Amino acid sequence: MKNKKDSDDLNQEGINQVLARRLTESQRIAHIGSWEHNLETNETFFSEEFFRLCGLDSEKDSADFELFFSILHSEDQPLLKKTIAETLQSHKPFNIDYRIILKDGSIRYIRSLGEIIPDSAGNLVILSGTSQDITDRKKAEETMKRTESLYRSFIDSMKDVAFLKDDKLRYLIANRATCDFLGLPVEEVLGKTDFDLMHEDAANACRKTDIKALTSSNGIFVDEESFGDTIFETRKFQIRLADNVFGVGAYITDVTARKRSEEKLQESEEYTRNILDTVDVGLIVVDRDYRIITANNAYRTQIGQQFDDKIIGKHCYELSHLSRRPCFEAGEECAVRGVFEDGVLHTTVHKHINRDGKIQYMETKAFPNKDKAGNVTSAIAVIHNITERHLLEAEQLRTQKLEAIGTLAGGIAHDFNNLLQGVFGYISMAKIKSSQPEEVIRNLEQAEKALSLSVNLTTQLLTFAKGGNPVKKKIYLQPVIENATKFALSGSRCDYLLHLDPNLWQAEVDEGQIAQVIQNIVLNASEAMPEGGVVDILSENITLLHEGRHVRIIIKDSGIGIPEAYRSKVFDPYFTTKQKGSGLGLATSYSIVKNHGGSIKVEASQNNGTSFIITLPACESEILKEKTIESAIDMQKQNGRILLMDDDTMIRDVALSMIELLGHNLELASHGEEAIEKYQVAFLSENPFDFVILDLTVKGGMGGQETMLKLQEIDPNVRAVVSSGYSDDPVVSGFPDYGFQGMLNKPYTIKELKECLSEMIN
């Protein structure tokens, strides 16, 4: 049996083992190792965790301070030895960080705490301590220091004042610019408030903006402050941590230079504005969306806008044309659009409408405004009001046309009298030969042909006098070219040669206007040969690559030619080298050919003659040639009920005779009101009119267009023919757009009347 003492020893031994095991586990978990060294016996103890921290094996390696010093970083050995020596001498504890190098070459950071403790006899001979691996903490601290250093370098490199205050408005962070502004080192700034660092008034102003930033809903406050001659832009904002307001941050920028530049720019803009507003021509700057960026007072005056009206940002066409769409979409040439397309100067003349509805003629010169890359960003439009000049030119044009007509009057009278002589002669012979029906018919046909030529003559004269929209029909151009040439050279010392293709394609043209073009150019050719000569005229078919079938007419003279300096101007209005010339003939010809979808150009050299080349679109399909001499008109009767309105008694009488001869029932009216009344009575009866023929122009009364509108109110299905002695009115050239189904040009033959009536009835 064991005695009590042995039992107590066993119990104590078990407790010690348990405590030792728990200590080992605790050190492992905490990564803390312990060690002891007896200075008298030179015995050393390393705990299991200390072995592990040092990369040693407790089974193979012995606890030896020499071994420990062998893994100690060479740079740290002197400091550790010195620290231990001081502890042994002073008996004061030590706390030191150092590095060790493990077997794999990795470096670990160790923190050791040690002191002198007594042995069992009470003698201070044992150096005891603990060691902990703080490598991760050291790396974190170094990272933190590096981050703080980078952050400090970053904010100190900023020219702007930047700082952070806590919720008590004490400086937590202040960059170098802040300290320079305050005139204090950073140590004297941190932890202080503005009241500690600056005058009370300035501190109150800073506190006021700090509080606004702390309490504002969006957490941002921007303000502008001046200190002497320096202007600062202050931007303050909340700093939040875990959804709580922690403090306020700020950036304060010196914007003095920018503000001074803005002031100078504003002064420059005002200076430029004052200059622009002193000129009497309109000036606007338009962006690529056709919105006005800048406009001077003269432009506002031009469009009838008040100076305080808002026009910046509006479309230029809204103000200049009172339109909701760009002018080029309405078919007008637009100088601004031209600038955006090719980046060069463009000039156009437009009709502008001001607020009062008054039409003004404006000449617009548009210039490109480009960025550094050469892209057109906007257009500068200089707008001149040329209304007075336009009206003066129009009046001058009318005067010059009258002068030109006067010049031609002698030749016209001669030709017209010759035609009338033919009419009188053939009619006289028809009377004498009344017993010979065939001869009567032949003489009357010749008289009718002479009258037709007279009509062409007056049509050409009217076209020259007033212009007009082309009324096109499919024709062969050979007789037009020949007759116009004869007319232009009547009384001239020049002759002509025709080289006309007998198979020339038809063209859809206004016969009178094309004849005018031929006359103008042939007349020019004869004037270029004052001593006489021959005008060569050629016509031929050509096929253009993209445009297809065309007819080409070449008119060539052997005259004095055109100097090179003048060739680009021959089609300009009012340009002439003749003392008595109007400068309108070739300009009018150019306009007519363009309106027909064709082209006209000149080839010339000085003293070597001139050639004008006219190209007109040809018809894709052709109508049969009319016979030169008509046989008697088929008088097969048709029974239609027609209402004719014309203010000329002779026209009404002739129309009555012709229409009744054709077998129709005709009623007459001398003006629109009478026609409306008769149509309404017939419409309400059981005997309505099949259609009506309306004279377009009635002196002192209601004309055809207005009458047509009234008739459509009575009968939406009314069928009508418009009749006129001249084609200038758009109702004639575009009669379907005004509700008419047909058109009769005065004067008309019974054949033309019959064709029109048959078409309307059928």
Please spell the DSSP secondary structure of 387-431, one letter per residue. HHHHHHHHHHHHHHHHHHHHHHHHHHHHHHHHHHHHHHHHHHHHH
For a pLDDT cut of 70, what percent of the chain falls above it?
80
Tell me the helix, strand and coil percentages in the chain, rounded to 5: 45, 25, 30
Average pLDDT over residues 375-403: 78
- CATH of range 641-761; options 3.30.450.20, 2.20.28.120, 3.40.50.2300, 3.40.50.300: 3.40.50.2300
- Of the pLDDT bands very low, low, confident and very high (cuts 50, 70, 90), residue 550 is very high
The residue extents of the domains of the chain are 15-139, 158-254, 280-385, 467-617, 641-761
Predicted pLDDT at 548 = 87
Q: Is residue 189 within 8 Å of residue 172, measured between CB atoms?
A: no
The segment with the largest mean pLDDT, out of 359-373, 518-532, 667-681, is 667-681
According to the model, what pLDDT value does residue 100 have? Answer: 92
What would the mean pLDDT of 25-39 be, rounded to a whole number?
A: 79
Sign of CA dihedral 61, 64, 66, 70: positive
For residue 294, which phi and psi values (nearest 5 degrees)?
-140, 145
Q: What residues contact 68, with CB distance under 8 A and at least 6 apart?
A: 46, 54
- In this model, does residue 152 exceed pLDDT 70? yes
Question: Lowest-confidence range among 62-71, 104-113, 199-208, 464-473?
Answer: 464-473
CB 325 within 8 A of CB 317: yes
- What is the spatial distance between Cα 669 and Cα 687, in angstroms, rounded to a whole number? 17
pLDDT value, residue 17: 64
Q: Is the pLDDT of residue 457 over 70?
A: no
Mean pLDDT (the chain, rounded): 81
- Of 320-324, 494-498, 546-550, 579-583, which range is least confident? 579-583
Count of other CB atoms within 10 angstroms of residue 759: 11
pLDDT confidence tier of residue 193, bands split at 50, 70 and 90: very high
Residue written as tokens 């309404």? 680
pLDDT of residue 645: 94
Give residue-wise pLDDT tens across range 411-436. 555 455 555 555 555 565 565 556 66
Mean pLDDT of all residues in 587-610: 84
pLDDT at 94: 93
Distance CA 559, CA 567 (A): 15
- Give the pLDDT of residue 672: 93
- Could you tell me if 340 and 365 are in contact, meaning their C-beta atoms sit under 8 angstroms apart? no
What pLDDT shows up at residue 627?
42
- Written out in words, the top-level CATH class of the domain with range 467-617 is alpha beta
Query: Does the domain formed by 158-254 have CATH 3.30.450.20?
Result: yes
* Higher per-residue pLDDT: 360 or 627: 360
pLDDT of residue 419: 55
What average pLDDT does range 555-560 have in this prediction?
89
* Closest CA relative to residue 519, chosen from 507, 530, 527: 527
Q: How far is it, in rounded angstroms, from Cα 186 to Cα 176?
A: 8
pLDDT (mean) for 352-374: 82
| pLDDT surpasses 80 at 128 | yes
Better pLDDT: 664 or 604:
664
**Topology of 15-139 in CATH?**
Beta-Lactamase (3.30.450)
| Domain 15-139 matches domain 280-385 at the CATH topology level | yes
The residue-averaged pLDDT of 176-180 equals 89
Domain 280-385 in CATH 1.10.10.10? The answer is: no
